[in-house]
Amino acid sequence: MSPLKRIYEPAAYAAGSLDGCWWPETTRTAPAEALSSLRGEARCEFAVIGAGYAGLNAAITLAEAGGDVVVLDEHEPGWGASGRNGGFCCLGGAKASGEVIARRHGTLELARHRATEKAAIAHVAALTDRFGIALDRHSRGEVQIAHSPRAFRAMRNEVAGVSAAYQVAAELLSPADLAARGMQVSGLTGPMHGGLWVDLGFALNPRKYALGLARAARALGARLHARSPALSITPEGQSYRITTPEGALRARHILLTTNGYSADNLPRWMAARYLPLQSSVLVTRPLTEAEIAAQGWSSDVMAYDSRHLLHYFRLMPDRRMLFGMRGALRWTPAAHAAIRADLRRHFAAMFPAWAAVEAPHVWSGLVAMSRALTPYVGPLGDWPRAQAAFAWHGNGVAMGSYAGAQAARAALGRPTELPRFYAAPPRRFELGPARRLMLAAAYLGYRVIDAA
């Protein structure tokens, strides 16, 4: 049995990579879910590999349809990006612009993509209401803040189109408007130039959401196994054999939903079809009302700036500030020390009144992109009865959830409600196992563009 082939250092995939994350602190008083590892031989109709948002939504959909479902995870449900992200349930899923999607696939497919973005947010809201998941939901809509005059001009040209495309309210905000609404923030090298608010989405506690999904899946009859990484998948007759360190699972259908924590040999078709990249987050101690007033950021709206190497941030209900940005290129102590320093420097530049505020929680996680910069939800190569869903480009709360449910519909032989291009086989990244090297050049280019 060959080891999993992954492109980051082993520490990225070890249990300790979650150290420093704020979200586990918010669930320590909740009763622990006792999940066993898979031991010995087992069978099921549907095997789901990966217990993040996509995998757990798939399990819920399959179990509700009466399917016999087993979910395997390398660590615990929500251990990966699903339990350590910024908690933005918002538009997104693709890094490719609307213009690029329309040019490649046509305006009808672009409209379907936008409808999918909107449906994904509604899916999360309905799902959490249906299962009574308490996830600290708050805020309304999201705001993109212009880091340059050129970015603000683009927003001015786009605001009417955004409103029409999504059939929601969208509003252009001047710098004075931002300040009046409690969104006073600076850029890295100067003032911000305005913003664009869209009335879609809400903020949540990502770990509470993930654990709530796991409880819902189990209540419906799905069997969840923790500390059970899939080490190999082998077709055998009319089924698949999935081996784990202590057992093996035979399943007629498989759904692979490992996203940034995938492996190039699980199965070999996955090799170089996804590119994990790091996102890093800090969370401050609770801010006092005086500190909030001094900075002028009192809004709880989800916010991000217009840079390619964007920053994302929000004030949480307990008055802690969350601030995130793209992470390091390596998963080593030295690389993470450097990104922690960058996080503090960027945070201090954008929120100068809070430059000295303690941030006791800092962590990183892996998101994933595809070569086309669009999501993939479709067949796992040429294997029958096998689906894969990955590449949310850092916006997996809504898109990963909805795509997982739609992948389950495909596994059940039902039509999906996704754009056709989501199922186009993803191209492989250049450089194969060394494709992470591309990020250094890409980040350098984006820094130049962002500074223009």
- CATH code of residue 146: 3.30.9.10
Q: What percent of the chain clears pLDDT 90, i.e. is strictly above it?
A: 97
pLDDT in tens, 48-71: 999 999 999 999 999 999 999 999
The residue segments making up the domain with residue 157 are 142-199+285-359
Residue 4 forms part of a structural domain: no
**pLDDT of the residue at 85:** 98
Please tell me whether residues 262 and 382 are part of one structural domain: yes
CATH number of residue 48's parent domain: 3.50.50.60
Residue 431 forms part of a structural domain: yes
Q: What is the mean predicted confidence (pLDDT) over 157-177?
A: 97
pTM of the model: 0.97
With beta carbons less than 8 A apart as the criterion, state whether 357 and 298 touch: no
Please tell me whether residues 396 and 431 are part of one structural domain: yes
- b/e map 245-270, b = 16+ CB within 10 Å: eebbbbbbbbbbbbbbbbbbbbbebb
Please tell me whether residues 210 and 261 are part of one structural domain: yes
Identify the three-state secondary structure at position 341: helix
Residue 98 forms part of a structural domain: no
Residue 337 forms part of a structural domain: yes
Please tell me whether residues 192 and 295 are part of one structural domain: yes
Residue 96 forms part of a structural domain: no
**pLDDT of the residue at 189:** 87
With beta carbons less than 8 A apart as the criterion, state whether 215 and 193 touch: no
pLDDT in tens, 281-291: 999 999 999 99
C-alpha 211/C-alpha 79 separation (Å) is: 10
Please tell me whether residues 265 and 414 are part of one structural domain: yes
Upstream peptide bond of 267 is cis (omega within 30 degrees of 0): yes
Q: Is residue 426 packed enough to be buried (19+ CB in 10 Å), middle (13-18) or exposed (0-12)?
A: buried
Query: Max Cα separation, the chain?
Result: 67
Q: Which helix or strand (DSSP H or E) is residue 70 part of? A: strand 69-72
Residue 255 forms part of a structural domain: yes
**pLDDT of the residue at 29:** 78
pLDDT in tens, 119-137: 999 999 999 999 999 999 9
Q: What is the mean predicted confidence (pLDDT) over 93-103?
A: 97
Percent helix, strand and coil across the chain, each to the nearest 5 = 40, 20, 40
C-alpha 129/C-alpha 121 separation (Å) is: 13
C-alpha 299/C-alpha 289 separation (Å) is: 12
C-alpha 417/C-alpha 315 separation (Å) is: 34
452 band by pLDDT with thresholds 50, 70 and 90: confident
C-alpha 13/C-alpha 16 separation (Å) is: 8
Please tell me whether residues 398 and 417 are part of one structural domain: yes
31 band by pLDDT with thresholds 50, 70 and 90: low
pLDDT in tens, 220-267: 999 999 999 999 999 999 999 999 999 999 999 999 999 999 999 999
Identify the three-state secondary structure at position 249: strand
Q: Phi first, then psi: give them for residue 263, nearest 5 degrees.
A: -130, 145
With beta carbons less than 8 A apart as the criterion, state whether 59 and 69 touch: yes
Q: Which of 359, 384, 406 is the last residue of a domain?
A: 359
Mean pLDDT (the chain, rounded): 97
Q: Which of 302, 328, 359 is the last residue of a domain?
A: 359
CA distances from 415 to 407, 419, 420 (A): 10, 11, 11
**DSSP-derived secondary structure for 360-384:** -EEEEEEEEE-TTSS-EEEESTT-T
Look at the chain and report how many structural domains it folds into: 2
Please tell me whether residues 403 and 442 are part of one structural domain: yes
Please tell me whether residues 16 and 70 are part of one structural domain: yes
CA geometry: angle at 365 spanning 344 and 342, to 5°? 20
Please tell me whether residues 400 and 352 are part of one structural domain: no
**pLDDT of the residue at 32:** 63
Please tell me whether residues 354 and 331 are part of one structural domain: yes
Of the candidates 280, 259, 285, 286, the residue with the CA atom closest to the CA atom of residue 391: 259
**pLDDT of the residue at 2:** 66
Q: Is the pLDDT of residue 1 over 60?
A: no
Please tell me whether residues 318 and 425 are part of one structural domain: no
C-alpha 412/C-alpha 418 separation (Å) is: 15
Please tell me whether residues 386 and 354 are part of one structural domain: no
Residue 121 forms part of a structural domain: no
With beta carbons less than 8 A apart as the criterion, state whether 12 and 366 touch: yes
Q: Is the pLDDT of residue 33 over 90?
A: no
Residue 136 forms part of a structural domain: no
Q: What is the mean predicted confidence (pLDDT) over 183-196?
A: 95
Identify the three-state secondary structure at position 355: coil
Of the candidates 144, 33, 64, 54, the residue with the CA atom closest to the CA atom of residue 398: 54
Q: Which of 359, 393, 411 is the last residue of a domain?
A: 359
Other beta carbons within 10 angstroms of residue 221's beta carbon come to 14
